[in-house]
A and B are shown apart, each in its own frame.
Chain A
Amino acid sequence: MSVLVDKNTRLLIQGITGQAGSFHAKQMIEYGTNVVAGVTPGKGGEKFESKVPMFDTVAQAVKHTGANATVIYVPPPFAADAIMEAAEAKVPLIVCITEGIPILDMVRVKRAITDMPVRLIGPNCPGIITPGQCKIGIMPGFIHKPGRIAVVSRSGTLTYEAVYQLSQLGLGQSTCIGIGGDPVNGTNFVDCLKLFNDDPDTDGVIMIGEIGGSAELQGAQWAKANMKKPIAGFIAGATAPPGKRMGHAGAIISGGEDTAEGKFAAMEAAGIMTTRDPSKLAVTLQKAMKRG
């Protein structure tokens, strides 16, 4: 078991013939992900790498291949359109990798999919992986090991850092989810913690947040009331000055509790074991698990 994706996931790739899309399509296929279809308007009927059937629309791809997840690599101006096309075709899991989507596009998309039977992960995220079964996104597959620790994070490379530390300690991962660095995103910490809490094959969680917004505070509050499993936490950006955007559109301190200190404090109040040393993410989780 794991959450959201496993060996039964049938993946569709939107933007499979683009530069990023084709590169990562090959990487995902090589990892063993069951890539069943690609969508690029105008390429319907052709095959990607002479293997994967391509379609003009998401609806056709779903109808003919039974795809139950999609990953989006289309450029920012067209990403909202791609998400909505997947949502309309009722693809249950939509993972959007694209960075740089206009915020107002995401405001509209988020409102529109609220009542639809779909889950959006991202945008501006590395994706989701259940090691050994299914990799959807851009993360380096080889650093992961199958196991029982879950990771949820707003950042890409910092997630890889956590995963690498876990694997070095011999702690494999159940599922790792990058929820993305944008101010408006589909899936948040609370959603992921709920999933991990209910997953019988997850024993502990590393939760990595950033400055800006309040998703970490909500996650911590939910964990305090509901979480039965140990969590280790880190917030990036303790040294970031207010009012400056630190790379990610969402990583900006705008006053109040959205500082790293505010979020560390909320985590600690929720019983999450934190570390100020990001080279000790996995070790901290180990301690949290011993504490129980």
Chain B
Amino acid sequence: MKIHEFQGKELFRKFGIPVPKGAAAKTPEEAQRIASELGGKVVVKSQIHAGGRGKGTLIEKPDVRGVKVVSTPQEAAEYTKALLGNHLRTKQTGPEGQKVKQVLVEQASEIAKELYVAVVLDRDSSRVTLIASTEGGMDIEEVAEKTPEKILKQSIEPATGMMPFAGRKLAYQLGMTGDTAKQAASIFGKLYDTFIGTDASMVEVNPLIITKSGDVMALDAKLNFDENALFRHKEVASLRDIDEEDPKERDAKDANLSYVALDGSIGCLVNGAGLAMATMDIIKYAGGSPANFLDVGGGATAAQVTTAFKIILADKNVKAILVNIFGGIAKCDVIAEGIVTAAKQVGLKLPLVVRLEGTNVELGKKILAESGLAITPANDMLDAATKAVAAAGGKK
């Protein structure tokens, strides 16, 4: 789960990590008030769940960028007015952009140097790892690719947690000295504490800045949380902003389905994540393109199958639907009944190709054949994909 930058900075404050003074505003008036309280130059930052906001521009007003430094409260109000309600398109949002509903107004900082630091899970070592670089403010993937020597890593021993030496080591490796190094080392430790204390899956600060007076501060806050651990972090769970989520993905999540929207024409309904990916792959292999990833899980119910159909049909690009079920725990007859109920309930008109295999498969096939629905049965995955591609208008 992602949160907004201003929420991330609130969390940072709780964990003792210095961030610029500021607050979120939902109206130009609020922005003006916050700016006048802060005094002096302020930064107005669009709050959407995507990176690249500084370089991103509004779809409605292509000359307006997502982030701006302004000199007066009046200007802060005007800029906020320009942003609110419009759609910001960045490298990470996709072409449709994301609607700006609030901004963060905060004190502008005197930047002497920009650094990068993140806390992530390193899958190879199965350990939490700090990543740092002197190349702050840049696209870190690009830095890693072009100048891998500029990426520093510090793996954390789970038994002890992060010891102070690890923070010191990174600070000195980054070329810091004196009090600045001490501040940075302490911040690195607190970032680790934030990661552990909230069951984050990523805590990224880009940039972490050194000010002209030598102080260290987090100028950005990007946090991602492990959804499986939200049950023990009610305060984090409450930061969820459902408006930032794809409505179809949100409905799927609420029905305990796993759905990801893609841009193809064949809707997929599959049980199991691996089989669902493989089904998308075989559609491509057969010359078509999948409209989505959708895993109904191991113990799919008729109600879930119905919701799944509704989600797939809400995508207007879908020209045909492919159902691929390997019944293990989920019995084919139960799934088949779910398909029939769902198809009737939603008044399905699109071609439907169904491949069933596994537990109670004969019973399942019989239910489909006797349903009176125009269902195209398939023998195996390739047969199913080929038929679905043909039904969706042939190869591209």
Contacts and interface: CB of A to CB of B under 8 A. Distances in A.
A158 B121 contact: no
The range of chain B's interface size is 35 or more
B164 to A, nearest CB: 20
A140 B126 contact: no
Contact of B199 (A104, A237, A245, A249): A104
Contacts of B258: 246-247
A76 B228 CA distance: 8
Given A102-B199, A159-B274, A239-B283, 9 more contacts: A100-B228, A102-B228, A104-B196, A107-B127, A157-B275, A183-B123, A241-B260, A244-B293, A255-B141
A107 B158 contact: yes
A251 B273 contact: yes
Interface in B341-385: 357-359, 380-383
Contacts of B273: 155, 181, 210, 246-248, 251
B358 A164 contact: yes
A194 interface: no
Given A140-B327, A161-B278, A239-B281, A107 B128 contact: yes
Contacts of B282: 277-279
Interface of A: 23, 76-77, 100-108, 110-112, 126, 138-140, 142-143, 153-161, 164, 181, 183-184, 208, 210-215, 234, 236-241, 243-251, 255, 260, 276-280
Interface in B291-343: 293, 295, 298, 326-329
A208 B123 CA distance: 18
A143 to B, nearest CB: 7
Given A157-B275, A158-B275, A237-B281, A277 B158 contact: no
A183 B201 CA distance: 11
A182 to B, nearest CB: 9
Contacts of B187: none
Nearest to A153: B274
A100 B159 CA distance: 22
B284 interface: yes
Contacts of A102: 199, 226, 228-229, 232
A253 B295 CA distance: 18
Contacts of B275: 155-158, 161, 236
Interface in B131-183: 141, 157-159
A283 to B, nearest CB: 11
Contacts of B290: 239
27 contacts: A23-B329, A102-B199, A102-B226, A102-B229, A104-B128, A110-B126, A111-B127, A112-B158, A140-B328, A153-B274, A155-B277, A155-B278, A156-B275, A157-B298, A161-B278, A213-B124, A214-B124, A236-B274, A238-B284, A239-B290, A241-B260, A244-B293, A245-B260, A246-B277, A278-B381, A279-B382, A279-B383
Given A247-B295, A248-B273, A255-B141, A240 B231 contact: no
A246 B127 contact: no
A132 B314 CA distance: 46
